[in-house]
Structure 1
């Protein structure tokens, strides 16, 4: 099995080509073509919800695929919009709902909502990215998390933004060796604990984000080591894979620690 660092590098070195391959997939192309041909014809929330293919495409594009069954909830979300502080979108802890309501802003734009970039080209680009991440996740969840973090990092402005996103939290916990059990602690404690390891302002710096991803990739491979990912050097000495850390991983992590996060 290719290491998380290696696979991530292969994908991101030429992201344009990587996405082009996804776009050429017959299923992806069929759904994308249908969406492009249909979305602008939809003028109301009810029409949007009723068209199952368009609705599921949009939900997947904005990271809400698992909630595609909750049409009543999404209908209420879209009809209330995001203007009022009391709207559902502004009350939900998961920021993806608000992002979705802003992207398909029927409440604010009416029939023109489906002509906005966020509902057309933006949605298609996000769908391709989501598909890429999901496909990579089938072979290595670490690669999926690294790609997700790269995409979302700059949008996070508070520590609560990390705690509200399970995937981001998993990334940070893995990167700094924070036990998952820490998530059961008092919320204020969780915030203070995360801030000991990470300054969210660093997420606005692409170089620091890449450094965090390097460290995450090394930690992920260390925590999920198998005989396929172990260093050939160790196999020469007949080391048990249960030891969980190859020499190259130890060297990588040591360098990252010395360099800071």
Structure 2
């Protein structure tokens, strides 16, 4: 992975974007990840039940990593119960968990009939989508390990298109933190009743604007500028730019063009009482 050492969030994110394709290719070609991908594609089409998935350690670990659940691999018994849950039963385990990653895994994996059958594993297009999901998550994790704010931005980019209301935001800790920061909402608001939180957010920003790429870019720029300002980072733009140009030159070549942030725009949203 490309080192982000010494760079603030803004410069680090620019470097990540400039080297993204190279890093994705590096992940696909690394010995560990290449073996994991090959094993998944070779054996997943023979998995029709949750029990079969659980019996194959490599496929289970691959699946967990693909959904950003690497930190939950130890909870195998719980994951088995989640995948066997009935999504139409509001009392089922998958519907009682607050972590949206589990619900997403349940939906995408496609196990039905209490985990006895599967709708997806035989599909080549689904397999390819799972590999892409795995690689993307590995890329995102690698950046977040170096700079958690960059990781949050990348997660926001990935999930923004799936957000339809403020409750979709509030059920996700990372996205909630992103929106609170970008909109200037105090962290203390997280302790309020969820309906009150949704009301306060709605007064600050029309959630429908997340369908507008220009609004997404504006929120991202605000988040990055505010987090860097809070961190008190005063890195040298010239030194960072030289580093980025060197990184790009070792890849596809060319010159990196810096993006100027309008820091004054941070105050663009009207303030509210909390």
TM range, smaller chain: 0.7 to 0.9
Q: Secondary structure at the match of 1:58?
A: helix
> For 1:183 and 1:259, how far apart are their aligned partners in 2?
19
The question of whether the paired residues in 2 share the 8 Å contact of 1:103 and 1:118 is answered with no
Answer yes or no: is the 8 Å Cα contact 1:81–1:101 preserved in 2.
no
Q: Which has the higher contact order (CA 8 A, sep 6+)?
A: 2
Q: Distance in 1 between matches of 2:142 and 2:17?
A: 15
Q: Which of 240, 259, 264 is residue 254 of structure 1 equivalent to?
A: 264
Secondary structure of 2:262's partner?
helix
Runs of 4+ in 1 over 6 A off after TM superposition: 229-232
List per-residue Cα deviations over 1:78-122 (Å, max 9, x = no partner).
Answer: 223434455433343333222111111121692553224685112
TM-score with structure 1 setting the length: 0.81
Quote how far apart the aligned CAs of 1:171 are: 0.8
Comparing both structures, which one devotes a greater share of its residues to helix?
Answer: 1
CA contact (8 A) 1:81 1:87 kept: yes
Query: Aligned partners of 1:251, 1:83: CA distance in 2, in Å?
Result: 46
Superposed displacement of residue 191, structure 1 = 1.2
Q: CA RMSD in A?
A: 2.7
Question: Residue in 1 aligned with 2:157?
Answer: 150
Deviation of 1:218 after TM superposition, in Å, equals 0.8
**How far apart, in 2, do the equivalents of 1:200 and 1:147 lie?**
19
Q: CA deviation at 1:41?
A: 2.1
The equivalent position to 2:41 in structure 1, one of 36, 44, 47, is 36
Q: In the alignment, which residue of structure 1 is the partner of 2:250?
A: none
Uncovered stretches (5+) of structure 1, i.e. residues with no partner: 233-249
Cα 1:118–1:179 shift into 2, 3 Å: farther
Partner Cα distance (1:112, 1:177) in 2:
44
Deviation string 1:18-72 (CA, Å, 9 cap, x unpaired) is 3212222222222222222221122221110122221121112112222222222
Which of 185, 203, 215 is the aligned partner of 2:210? Answer: 203
**Where do 5+ consecutive residues of structure 2 fail to align?**
1-5, 240-259
What is the count of residue pairs matched by the alignment?
243
Listed one character per residue, the Cα deviations across residues 195-243 of structure 1 (whole Å, up to 9, x for unaligned) are: 22222211112221111111111111111224546899xxxxxxxxxxx
The Cα shift of 1:186 comes to: 2.0
Q: For residues 156 and 236 of structure 2, what CA distance do their matches in structure 1 show?
A: 23
CA distance in 1, matches of 2:58, 2:186: 40
Q: Partners in 2 of 1:26 and 1:214 — Cα distance?
A: 36
